[in-house]
Chain A
Amino acid sequence: MATTLTAPVRPGRLSAVAPVGKRRRHLSPGRIVATVIVAVLAVTWLVPFAWATVTALKSETEAAATPVTLVPKSGFTPDAFTKVLQQGNIPAWTWNSLFTSAAITAVTLVISALAAYALSRIDFKGRKVLMTIIVASLIVPPPVLIIPLFYQMVSFHMIDSYWGIILPQVIAPAMVFVLKKFFDQIPRELEDAALVDGAGRIRIFLQVVLPLSRPILAAVAIFVFIGAWNNFLWPFIVTNDSAMLTLPVGLQTIKSAYGIQYAQNMASALLAALPLILVFLFFQRQIIKGISTTGLAGT
């Protein structure tokens, strides 16, 4: 199981996405047909976004009118967006999501990198056992833990708190594994040179290993952030107070509260989608390369 999660990752070369093969560059009929099919598929894949945008830019009456119109008769209006931003809790939820996701990412990165370094480089008694336990834990489906974790959070008085949202989400055995694989491939000679100079473990870790691991650290950070940002089940369970909800959980309450205000529903959904779409546009290459080389984000 574990091996499937960690396909090859090499230091300094996070990329496997080479420019597409040079073969058959000429315009064969096959390639023309393929382009048409892919274009049709791509347009189909964009329809839900497009339809949500069109709906969000209609007035509520127009959005709920039959027959369905592509271009509203009364013209497009940003009313739904302004209403949602003024009345709703979307700004607060966005902040909650941003803060908790950033905290989860930071803590996960620190504790996972430290653990991965120990598992990769330090020869200590108990290492093999720990490794086995961590790999075995990959099999635990998170839904199995929600009942006891909820109970635990009640006794810790962490319901409706940032602590409650953040703490149970910082354990990422798969990320420890990915980082360990990467550290394994950093040449030991680099560390030996530092050891000769009398540097301690911490200094070697901070000054030699981490700088060499920037690409994989970035990939792990992006994945953890996306996962935390989009997580629904856990924040949904551990929060109740409308002011404490994360964006995905807040959207769920909007659906029931706004009922049939379709334009506002779509405006909210689009506003919620916006931050990650921006993240993707900025980090497109890292995200795609990270998935292509490690295949880990889906776990």
Chain B
Amino acid sequence: MSTSIESWQGASAAPAENRHESRKRRDRIHGWAFMAPFLAFFGLFLIWPLIHGAVMSFTGKSLTGANSSFLGLANYAEALGDADMWHALGNTVYFTVISTVPLVVVALAMAALVNMGLPAQWLWRLSFFAPFLLASTVVSLFFVWMFNPQLGLINDVLGKVGIAPVDWLNNPDVAMWSIVAATLWWTVGFNFLLYLAAMQNIPAAHYEAAQLDGAGGWRQFFSITLPQLNQTTAMIVILQVLASLKIFDQVYQMTGGGPGGATRSIVEYIFEAGFTGYRLGYSAAISYIFFGLIVVVSIAQFAITRKRSA
């Protein structure tokens, strides 16, 4: 290793000390040169807006340009007393809870079934995963149409078995669940693939031993498969919770946050405060409250998974 590096520095007669020094200098220059393009974008489009957003959140900056004076913590104080903000935050947490459970459980069930050695593997993978590749707007168009109270397929099928039509997206008690259903259809394939890959990495020997002990399919699933998947499940839950907390697209496209704000998410509220209300400063403050929530959740989950794997 070291000999090759020295020879790379050229066959000059310079003392070893010098060569070492020049190599270090060279590495420093190369290192920063390789990093430079990434760092330029990183600084300009991530670090700077992050700082600028924080600064904005202390001002009355608006899209109309007026009143960008320093307000101190006024935006934060207003946000914490803003019932609409709390409502949106509550909706977001509610969505996260009721979407994460099916998105993990259904994915696990799908993977467990497909992993039983079924024929036509590619077909199942294709059907469950294909929706994940669609843009949110395509998914929303599909589901708004399926959920249509008069002409939609879902109410039509329900009608045939004698169930009264449901106004899926306009009933405040139902709308969030409809969005969960669309989200499940859209993204469960991703978790399914993660589970399937993890299951296929469980050594077959585990199952053979269990079979010799006479353990049936269910027993094997609960005593071998599930425990072996602990790490995977922890990872999927973390990714899912963080993804669900950021929900915006489907809600904005399918219900616009309605009816009566029943499905409005915190990201949608950030968007509306900034772009419909023109209050950039206030919107930035809510962004940072949301950021705080994400940080807390990330740290909590990091601590939990660390404890478990230790």
A-side residues, CB < 8 A to B, are 1, 4, 7, 16-18, 20-25, 30-31, 34-35, 37-38, 41-43, 45-49, 51-52, 55, 63-64, 66-68, 107, 110-112, 114-115, 117-119, 122-127, 130, 134, 137, 139-152, 167-168, 170-171, 173, 176, 188, 192-193, 195-196, 198, 201, 205, 226, 229-230, 232-233, 237, 247-249, 251-252, 255, 262, 265-266, 268-269, 272-273, 276-277, 279-280, 284, 288, 291-293, 295, 297-299
Contacts and interface: CB of A to CB of B under 8 A. Distances in A.
B7 interface: yes
Contacts, number: 319
A34 B204 contact: no
Contacts of A265: 141, 145
A284 B31 CA distance: 36
Sorted nearest first, the 10 A-B pairs with minimum C-beta distance are: A124-B31, A292-B197, A118-B34, A248-B135, A115-B38, A148-B49, A148-B53, A251-B137, A42-B127, A269-B141
Contact of A17 (B61, B197, B271, B301): B197
27 contacts: A4-B238, A38-B118, A38-B124, A41-B110, A51-B145, A111-B37, A111-B41, A137-B46, A141-B246, A141-B291, A143-B246, A147-B274, A147-B280, A147-B287, A149-B45, A152-B52, A167-B44, A233-B267, A268-B141, A269-B138, A269-B141, A273-B138, A279-B133, A288-B125, A288-B193, A295-B235, A298-B239
A181 B9 CA distance: 28
Interface string B119-155: 1011111111111011111101111111000111100
A143 B38 contact: no
B137 A293 contact: no
Interface string B8-49: 101000000000000010011011101101110110111111
A100 to B, nearest CB: 13
B97 interface: no
Contacts of B5: 192, 195
Interface in B271-292: 271, 274-275, 280, 283-284, 287-288, 290-291
Contacts of B275: 150, 237
A102 B143 CA distance: 29
A8 to B, nearest CB: 9
Please classify the interface of chain B as helix (H, G, I), strand (E, B), loop, or mixed, using the class held by over half of its residues: helix
Given A146-B271, A249-B137, A4 B156 contact: no
Interface string B161-186: 00000000000000000000000010
Interface string B85-111: 000000000000000000000000010
Contact of B42 (A150, A171, A247, A251): A171
Given A1-B298, A23-B204, A276-B134, 8 more contacts: A4-B234, A31-B117, A34-B113, A52-B141, A115-B39, A125-B31, A127-B31, A152-B48
B11 to A, nearest CB: 10
